[in-house]
């Protein structure tokens, strides 16, 4: 894992100074503390901060081809680099390192822009073709590794994190009103938008080229599902056996490293599968790490211990208190570079710190299984809502709601009247590809109540359904409903929040690389062709996944209902009515009015409610965390330079 940054001239004759890329890459030293590397000519400058994982001795970047006509800096891992190198050497290519990075320049020589199609990995790549004066930027298929860019003063600036771009003092730093509206609906901005005006994210599965002053962008991969009904041509056991083989191969590939590799262990199905595969199908010593909480509502330590005992793993955990989460929240926001509506990234940052303290740089993690195999409540909710819509007057059909959310203290399901209203919301959009997501968007979207009048005017007339529709593939309406649900989830919450704010950024805060075996693109392509009932059988989520690993998991893990990872939200910022030191300052009437995003009176009422411990519902919790994180971002990046301290007193 690493950080990359660079500058490319589009027009004009402004020189690219070495000190510019030095300042950009040094802002990313947390991504790559093991060394820095540079390439400069009159047209482009590339910079790299290295976290050495493969080829510790000769893998320094930038890396070049035989005649130094192609150069690259790269953030991530190419898991199939051994096989690619063998094939390239047979074609006559000569290597000077044993790193995974070097296959990139030779693949480009061999296949041109289609080189990305050969890669099995997680990556953000910048490649410079010196002969053609052609810059290529590429990002992995599912959005595991970030890559941001902006065009300013005739130059293209790009980096792994926006704080790197903001090291150049003439680049504007302003929050984007439309992005805030999207974050407070979908949990992340859509498509290529970021929280900052003028700075874009290269979308997952996309490649961008700067050549002869023109920037073009294309998509080389996307999630696809068959049209219409998917018939089962094989037995469920046959599918399960193939799935198990594919999972084992994905884990084996992602264990490749020249340093020790650990694994996260949450106590749920997904991380249990990863750790069980490591134990039963590889020779890698099993070293696991987990988070526990003082609050029993969020704590899964008993389930974690069950698997630790079952597998005999060497295990270490970090216990998170609410006070600790509140104290570390500003540092988490400095790394996310975007507002969030949950505190959940912060414990993940503390967990990666534990991994680093124990001498590890790499961990395998279970993210992606829910999106690929149908694990979220959202998918079950959508199935129930479609079922209810076929007989809306039925009283008994609504009883099925009682089977949802057994892990929630404040579940909406027991209140029948409330549940009926909640799950009937948006029923007029039943045929829309984003229908499944409306309850979540509606709950999150209530944060908009706190926008100031000026902010509401700046956002203007905005329809979340129309906005998401504009980003969807043309043929999505012909996919089965669950395929539609999965596509929207993968391109909003997963790519924009889980893999970014909660994944990459929280690992890289402590120079830890997370790897995601469930997001191997060949595994996704296999799963997308499965009959939907093999993902959710009745209301049994991830049915085929459980079946594929049935003999390698304890009964408690196999039978346990999915419990999403959560952390204390508003309660993390108050203790006995006293706020964390920075909270009262940021949310004071003067600060809120000066920033201009929110209505000071509305924020004051919410803060008073939170101080008294009366914020218990999802909506108010998300509103408080969203307002506070926006104000933190404003202070850290807009008011002050992005080199501001990571914690606030």
**Residue 196: strand pairing partners:** 175
- Span 299-322, pLDDT tens digits: 898 889 999 999 999 999 999 999
pLDDT at 640: 81
Q: Which residue has the tokens 């199908």?
A: 281
pLDDT at 108: 98
pLDDT at 389: 75
- Span 140-153, pLDDT tens digits: 999 999 999 999 99
Q: How far apart are CA 397 and CA 400, in angstroms?
A: 6
CATH homologous superfamily of 2-171 equals Aminohydrolase, N-terminal nucleophile (Ntn) domain (3.60.20.10)
- Span 582-604, pLDDT tens digits: 999 999 999 999 999 999 999 99
- Whole-number Cα distances in Å, 469 to 220, 442, 446, 482: 20, 17, 21, 16
Q: What is the dihedral of CA 514, 629, 158, 371, to 10 degrees?
A: 40
pLDDT at 558: 80
Q: Which residue has the tokens 């209810």?
A: 388
What average pLDDT score do residues 535-562 get? 89
User: Known catalytic residues?
Assistant: 2
Q: How far apart are CA 20 and CA 167, in angstroms?
A: 8
In the structure, how many helices (H) and strands (E) does the chain have?
25, 19
pLDDT at 562: 72
Question: DSSP string spanning 253-270?
Answer: HHT--SS-EEEE--SSHH
**Element at 279 (helix H, strand E):** helix 269-281
Contacts 24+ apart (CB under 8 A), 297-305: 297/409, 298/566, 298/567, 298/568, 300/266, 300/267, 300/268, 300/563, 301/267, 302/267, 303/267, 303/268, 303/556, 303/557, 303/560, 304/265, 304/266, 304/267
Q: How far apart are CA 378 and CA 187, in angstroms?
A: 14
Q: Do domains 2-171 and 236-371+492-559 have the same CATH topology?
A: no
Domain ranges within the chain, ordered by starting residue: 2-171, 236-371+492-559
> Is the pTM higher than 0.85?
yes
- Span 13-61, pLDDT tens digits: 899 999 999 999 999 999 999 899 999 999 999 999 998 887 777 789 9
With cut-offs at 50, 70 and 90, classify the pLDDT of residue 511.
Answer: very high
**Most distant CA atoms of the chain, gap in Å:** 74
Q: What is the dihedral of CA 435, 439, 440, 442, to 10 degrees?
A: 110
Residue 394, phi then psi, degrees to nearest 5:
-70, 135
What average pLDDT score do residues 458-468 get? 95
Cβ-contact 15, 44 below 8 angstroms: no
Residue 118 has pLDDT above 90, yes or no: yes
What average pLDDT score do residues 617-632 get? 95
Residue 538 has pLDDT above 90, yes or no: no
What average pLDDT score do residues 96-117 get? 97
pLDDT mean across residues, the chain: 92
- Span 484-500, pLDDT tens digits: 999 999 999 999 999 99
Q: Which two tokens stand for residue 606?
A: 């919410």
Map residue 640 onto helix, strand or coil. Answer: coil
pLDDT at 410: 54
- Per this entry, what is the length of the chain? 649
Residue 398 has pLDDT above 60, yes or no: no
**Element at 78 (helix H, strand E):** strand 70-78
Residue 367 has pLDDT above 70, yes or no: yes
- Identify which has the larger pLDDT, 134 or 640: 134
Residue 249 has pLDDT above 70, yes or no: yes
Q: Which two tokens stand for residue 89?
A: 């050497």
pLDDT at 215: 98
What average pLDDT score do residues 527-537 get? 95
Which residue intervals of 146-229 are DSSP H helices?
162-165, 177-186
Map residue 133 onto helix, strand or coil. Answer: coil
Residue 173, phi then psi, degrees to nearest 5:
-130, 95
The CATH code of domain 236-371+492-559 reads 3.40.50.620
- Span 177-236, pLDDT tens digits: 999 999 999 999 998 999 999 999 999 999 999 999 999 999 999 999 999 888 888 999
State the Rg of the chain over Cα: 24
Cβ-contact 595, 541 below 8 angstroms: no
Mean pLDDT is lowest, of 334-343, 585-594, 636-645, for 636-645
Mean pLDDT is lowest, of 86-95, 451-460, 532-541, for 532-541
Q: Which residues contact 398 (CB under 8 A, 6 or more apart)?
A: 388, 416, 419, 420, 423
Q: Which two tokens stand for residue 645?
A: 């301290």
Q: How far apart are CA 279 and CA 263, in angstroms?
A: 11
Cβ-contact 160, 5 below 8 angstroms: yes
Question: DSSP string spanning 408-471?
Answer: -TT-STTSHHHHHHHHHTTGGGTTSTTGGGHHHHHHHHGGGGGB-HHHHHHH-S--HHHHHHTT
Q: How far apart are CA 544 and CA 326, in angstroms?
A: 39
């Amino acid at each position: 894992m690493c950080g990359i940054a660079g500058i490319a001239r589009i027009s004009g004759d402004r020189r690219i100074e070495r000190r510019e890329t030095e300042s950009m890459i040094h802002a990313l030293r947390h991504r790559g503390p093991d060394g820095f590397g540079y390439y400069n000519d009159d047209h482009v400058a590339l910079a790299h901060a290295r976290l050495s994982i493969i080829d510790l001795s000769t893998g320094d970047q930038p890396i070049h081809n035989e005649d130094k006509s192609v150069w690259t800096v790269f953030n991530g891992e190419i898991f199939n680099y051994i096989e690619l190198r063998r094939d390239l050497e047979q074609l006559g290519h000569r290597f000077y390192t044993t790193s995974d990075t070097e296959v990139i320049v030779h693949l480009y020589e061999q296949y041109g822009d289609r080189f990305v199609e050969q890669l099995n990995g997680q990556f953000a790549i910048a490649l410079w073709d010196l002969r053609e004066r052609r810059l290529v930027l590429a990002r992995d298929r599912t959005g595991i590794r970030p890559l941001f860019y902006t065009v300013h003063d005739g130059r293209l600036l790009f980096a792994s994190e926006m704080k790197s771009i903001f090291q150049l003092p003439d680049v504007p730093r302003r929050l984007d009103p439309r992005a805030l509206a999207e974050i407070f609906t979908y949990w992340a901005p859509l498509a290529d938008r970021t929280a900052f005006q003028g700075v874009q994210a290269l979308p997952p599965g996309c490649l961008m080229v700067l050549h002869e002053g023109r920037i073009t962008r294309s998509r080389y991969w996307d999630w696809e599902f068959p049209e219409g009904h998917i018939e089962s041509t094989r037995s469920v056991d046959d599918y399960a056996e193939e799935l198990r083989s594919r999972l084992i191969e994905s884990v084996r590939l992602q264990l490749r490293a020249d340093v020790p590799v650990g694994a996260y262990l949450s106590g749920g199905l997904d991380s249990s599968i990863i750790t069980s595969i490591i134990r039963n199908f590889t020779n890698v010593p099993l070293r696991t790490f987990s988070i526990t909480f003082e609050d029993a509502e969020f704590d899964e330590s008993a389930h974690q211990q069950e698997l630790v005992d079952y597998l005999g793993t060497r295990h270490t955990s970090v216990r998170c208190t609410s006070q600790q989460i509140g104290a570390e929240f500003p540092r988490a926001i400095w790394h996310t570079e975007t507002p969030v509506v949950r505190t959940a990234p912060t414990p993940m940052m503390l967990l990666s710190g534990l991994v680093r303290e124990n001498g590890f740089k790499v961990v395998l993690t279970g993210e992606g299984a829910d999106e690929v195999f149908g694990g979220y409540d959202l998918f079950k909710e959508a199935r129930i809502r479609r079922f209810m819509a076929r007989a809306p007057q039925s009283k008994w059909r609504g009883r099925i709601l009682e089977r949802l959310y057994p892990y929630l203290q404040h579940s909406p399901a027991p209140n029948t009247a409330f549940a009926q209203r909640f799950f009937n919301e948006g029923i007029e959009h039943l045929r829309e590809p984003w229908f499944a997501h409306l309850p979540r968007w509606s709950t999150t979207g209530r944060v908009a109540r706190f926008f100031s009048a000026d902010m509401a005017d700046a956002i203007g007339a905005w329809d979340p359904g129309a906005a998401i529709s504009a980003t969807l593939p043309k043929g999505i309406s012909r996919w089965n409903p669950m395929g539609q649900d999965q596509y929207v989830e993968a391109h909003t919450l997963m790519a924009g929040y889980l893999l970014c704010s909660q994944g990459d950024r929280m690992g890289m805060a402590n120079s830890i690389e997370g790897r995601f075996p469930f997001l191997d693109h060949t595994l996704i392509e296999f799963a997308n062709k499965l009959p939907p009932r093999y993902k959710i059988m009745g209301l049994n989520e991830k049915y085929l996944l459980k079946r594929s690993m049935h003999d390698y998991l304890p009964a408690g893990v196999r039978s346990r209902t999915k419990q999403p990872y959560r952390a204390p939200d508003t309660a993390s910022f108050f203790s006995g009515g006293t706020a964390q030191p920075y909270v009262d300052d940021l949310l004071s009437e003067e600060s809120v009015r000066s920033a201009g995003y929110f209505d000071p009176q509305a924020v004051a009422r919410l803060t008073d409610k939170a101080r008294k411990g009366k914020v218990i519902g999802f909506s108010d919790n998300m509103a408080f965390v969203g307002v506070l994180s926006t104000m933190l971002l404003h202070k850290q990046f807009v008011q002050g330079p992005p080199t501001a301290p990571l914690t606030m007193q």
